[in-house]
């Protein structure tokens, strides 16, 4: 959002509770999935656009909402969901070695957690649970660890000794999921990779109770098989058993940390917004990302772009525009013509009936407003022009169960420059003109012609002489990209 708002020329200050930017990309998703040097470089690029960042500053604690309202014209809440949900079973609350996935991964991503318990159970089934068990398999355990494996998760100032790394041993990591593997939230290839790395996945299994020892710490998790009725698990009688554990992690969902932000809470630890990401009843407040609905990085980034436009309209005192169902960038030919100094002449609405003109300079002839059909379906393309080119897929470095301990190399290998360009070459330019000249060449009437260079701009390469056009559709048929649409020209 800061990036988009800076591009529009607004002054932006980011308040960041953590010492580094990046949110869950930095403190949740492990480094072998998001390389930290790339993330830091991207953040730096945005900061260098002139964004003021206040690090280690939690709004609601270090700065009040009232102060922000005094100092800023608009506020975007992009606070994410950092409070992991507790497992709703007996014995969970207050048990020290029962922790949330968010807290567990944060301790690892801050570099403080070097090793973990010998037997780890994670309850979940989504991306976070897969990350928890994959991290556990990578960091391993060490019998020489002093204290308990959960200590480093609870105590932000604790940093396990680096010497533990040398003597680490494999961990038994088990993931339990209410849903069967086919219906788990995590992506299929993530589940496949986890099994390859030696993780035990118990699917169709529900937790029943945390079993505790005399010292009050969990020694195991009682579970049973289950079937699902929608989102409700139905236990299968007679299948109860106890899985042993040194540490149990719940990765069953997250909510926002609303301390100091209570007035924005919709009652479920999230914030309610309009389609334009403006808070209902608080016009100078906006919210985006996980705090609206926990989802994906791309979702949060896309919402930030929409919210930035809403903020821009709000600050200019304009009405915030209704957004189309499919929210994509519109190519704006008028803007392009303005950039090229080709603005249409002034239109005088009182100058009589002017419909049907194909020459007056107040109108843009051959103007195509594509915004009504953002998606060009494949049947509008002339596929005969395109050779079948298979995708250039990224290769994966997924360690086997024997190799995973201490393996922190990036899992997906990025494409090299040459392959990335080849992959980009597969773009069929759906709905856009790539200046192939087919329409000019095949028009039997010579009605389609190239726009003279002095009047051309992006999106304005060919035009039609309507006095010659007989509406034969040949230009439309030979267009490879579905760019040309037939119409009556008014
Ligand atoms: C373990 C895990 C794995 C994931 N894996 C993937 C994945 O593979 N692919 C994918 O697309 N998505 C994944 N996601 C989801 C993705 O991380 C989120 O959708 C995305 O990060 C949401 O972005 P956000 O900006 O809304 O919130 P966040 O990324 O959570 O950022 C919120 C920011 O606000 C700061 N903050 C919070 N409260 C305050 C406050 N009061 N004052 C000041 N600052 C505050 C935080 O420090 C943080 O920097 C994963 C999430 C998790 C937890």
Domain residues of the chain, as ranges?
2-81+256-315, 84-254, 333-386+428-490
| Torsions phi, psi for 127 (to 5 deg) | -60, -40
Helix, strand, coil percentages (3-state) for the chain, rounded to 5, are 25, 20, 55
pLDDT above 70: residue 407: yes
Radius of gyration for the chain, computed over Cα atoms and rounded to the nearest angstrom: 29
Strands of 75-77's sheet in order across? 75-77, 282-287, 278-279
Which residue's alpha carbon is at the smallest distance from atom 53 of ligand 1? 28
Q: How far is the CA of 22 from the centre of ligand 1 (A)?
A: 8
Nearest to 145 by CA among 134, 122, 166, 161: 161
Pocket test for ligand 1, best of 79, 105, 306 (most atoms within 8 A of CB): 79
Atom of ligand 1 nearest to the CA of 294: 19
Q: What pLDDT score does 484 carry? A: 87
Dihedral of alpha carbons 455, 459, 462, 463, sign: negative
Q: How far is the CA of 291 from the centre of ligand 1 (A)?
A: 9
> What is the tens place of the pLDDT at every residue in 69-121?
999 999 999 999 999 999 999 999 999 999 999 999 999 999 999 999 999 99
Q: What pLDDT score does 372 carry? A: 56
> What is the tens place of the pLDDT at every residue in 278-322?
998 899 999 999 999 999 999 999 999 999 999 999 999 999 888
Four-way CATH pick for 333-386+428-490: 3.90.660, 2.60.40, 2.70.98, 3.30.70 = 3.30.70
Hey, what CATH topology would domain 2-81+256-315 get? Answer: FAD/NAD(P)-binding domain (3.50.50)
Average pLDDT over residues 231-258: 97
Per the CB < 8 A criterion, the answer to whether 475 and 485 are in contact is no
pLDDT above 60: residue 453: yes
> What is the tens place of the pLDDT at every residue in 181-192?
999 999 999 999
Residue 76 β-bridge partners: 286
Q: How far is the CA of 80 from the centre of ligand 1 (A)?
A: 5
Q: What pLDDT score does 83 carry? A: 96
Nearest to 217 by CA among 151, 161, 156, 298: 151
Q: What pLDDT score does 431 carry? A: 82
Question: Inter-axis angle of helices 127-139 and 101-109, to 10 degrees?
Answer: 50
Work out the end-to-end distance of the chain between its first and last CA atoms, rounded to an integer number of angstroms. Answer: 40
DSSP-derived letter for residue 201 is E
Reduced to 3 states, what is the DSSP secondary structure of residue 92? coil
How many angstroms separate the CA atoms of 466 and 475, rounded? 13
- Please check whether the two domains, 2-81+256-315 and 84-254, share a CATH topology: yes
Q: State how beta strands 13-15 and 52-54 pair.
A: parallel
Percent of the chain beyond pLDDT 90? 80
Average pLDDT over residues 228-238: 96
What residues does ligand 1 touch, defined as CB less than 6 Å away? 15-18, 23-25, 28-29, 58-60, 78-80, 82, 102, 105, 127-128, 131, 257, 289-291, 295-298, 300
Locate 381 and state its tokens.
């393309």
| CATH class assigned to 84-254 | alpha beta
Q: What pLDDT score does 373 carry? A: 58
Average pLDDT over residues 343-368: 81
Per the CB < 8 A criterion, the answer to whether 271 and 77 are in contact is yes
Q: What pLDDT score does 349 carry? A: 85
The b-or-e profile of 176-196 (16+ CB within 10 A means b, else e) is bbbbeeeebebeeebbebbee
Q: How far is the CA of 294 from the centre of ligand 1 (A)?
A: 9
Nearest to 217 by CA among 64, 328, 77, 92: 92
The larger pLDDT score, comparing residue 67 to residue 322, is at 67
DSSP-derived letter for residue 61 is T
Nearest to 5 by CA among 306, 323, 320: 306
pLDDT above 90: residue 130: yes
Q: How far is the CA of 25 from the centre of ligand 1 (A)?
A: 6
Q: What pLDDT score does 483 carry? A: 86
pLDDT band, very low/low/confident/very high, at 203 (cuts 50, 70, 90): very high
Cβ neighbours for 135, distance < 8 A, ≥ 6 positions apart: 30, 104, 105, 108, 116
DSSP string, 159-197: ---GGGGTT-B--EEEEEESS-GGG-SS-HHHHHHHHHT
pLDDT above 70: residue 426: yes
How many angstroms separate the CA atoms of 110 and 130, rounded? 19
Least confident window among 201-210, 221-230, 431-440: 431-440
Nearest to 382 by CA among 474, 469, 447: 474
pLDDT band, very low/low/confident/very high, at 242 (cuts 50, 70, 90): very high
If phi > 0 it is left, if psi is from -120 to 50 it is alpha, else beta; for residue 426 that is: alpha
Locate 86 and state its tokens.
């507790």
């Amino acid at each position: 959002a800061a990036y988009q708002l800076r591009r529009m020329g607004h002054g932006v200050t980011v308040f960041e509770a953590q010492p580094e930017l990046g949110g869950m990309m930095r403190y949740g998703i492990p480094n072998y999935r998001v390389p930290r040097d790339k993330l830091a470089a991207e953040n730096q690029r945005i900061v260098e656009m002139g964004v003021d960042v206040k690090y280690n500053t939690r709004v609601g604690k270090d700065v009040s909402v009232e102060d922000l309202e005094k100092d800023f014209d608009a506020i975007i809440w992009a606070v994410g969901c950092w409070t992991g949900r507790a497992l709703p079973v007996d014995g969970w609350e207050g048990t020290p070695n029962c922790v949330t996935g968010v807290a567990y991964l944060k301790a690892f991503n801050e570099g403080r957690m070097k090793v973990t318990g010998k037997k780890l159970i994670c309850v979940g089934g989504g991306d976070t649970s897969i990350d928890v068990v994959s991290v556990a398999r990578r960091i391993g355990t060490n019998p020489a660890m002093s204290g308990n494996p959960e200590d480093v998760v609870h105590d932000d100032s604790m940093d396990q000794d680096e010497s533990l790394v040398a003597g680490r041993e494999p961990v038994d990591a088990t993931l339990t999921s209410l849903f069967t593997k086919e219906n788990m939230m995590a992506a299929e290839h993530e589940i496949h990779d986890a099994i390859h790395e030696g993780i035990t996945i118990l699917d169709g299994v529900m937790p029943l109770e945390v079993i505790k020892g005399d010292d009050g710490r969990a020694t195991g998790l009682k579970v049973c098989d289950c079937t699902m009725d929608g989102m409700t698990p139905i236990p299968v009688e007679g299948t109860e058993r106890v899985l042993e554990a040194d540490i149990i992690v719940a990765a069953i969902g997250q909510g926002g940390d609303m301390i100091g932000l209570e007035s924005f809470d919709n009652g479920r630890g999230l914030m309610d917004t309009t389609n334009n990401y403006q808070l209902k009843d608080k016009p100078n407040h906006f919210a985006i990302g996980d705090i609206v609905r926990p989802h994906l990085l791309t979702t949060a980034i896309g919402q930030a772009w929409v919210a930035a436009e809403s903020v821009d309209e709000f600050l200019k005192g304009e009405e915030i525009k209704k957004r189309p169902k499919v929210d994509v960038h519109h190519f704006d030919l008028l803007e392009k013509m303005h950039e090229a100094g080709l603005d249409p002449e002034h239109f005088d609405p009182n100058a009589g009936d002017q419909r049907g003109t194909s020459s007056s300079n107040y109108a843009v002839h051959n103007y195509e407003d594509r915004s009504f059909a953002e998606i060009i379906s494949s049947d509008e393309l002339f596929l005969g022009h395109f050779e079948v080119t298979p995708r250039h897929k990224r290769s994966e470095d997924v360690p086997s169960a024997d190799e995973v301990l201490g393996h922190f190399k990036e899992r997906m290998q990025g494409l090299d420059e040459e392959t990335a360009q080849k992959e980009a070459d597969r773009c069929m330019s759906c709905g856009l003109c790539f200046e192939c000249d087919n329409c000019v060449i095949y028009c039997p009437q010579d009605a389609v012609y190239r726009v003279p260079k002095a009047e051309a701009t992006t999106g304005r390469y060919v035009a039609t002489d309507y006095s010659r056009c007989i509406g034969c559709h040949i230009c439309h048929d030979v267009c490879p990209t579905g760019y040309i649409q037939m119409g009556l020209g008014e």
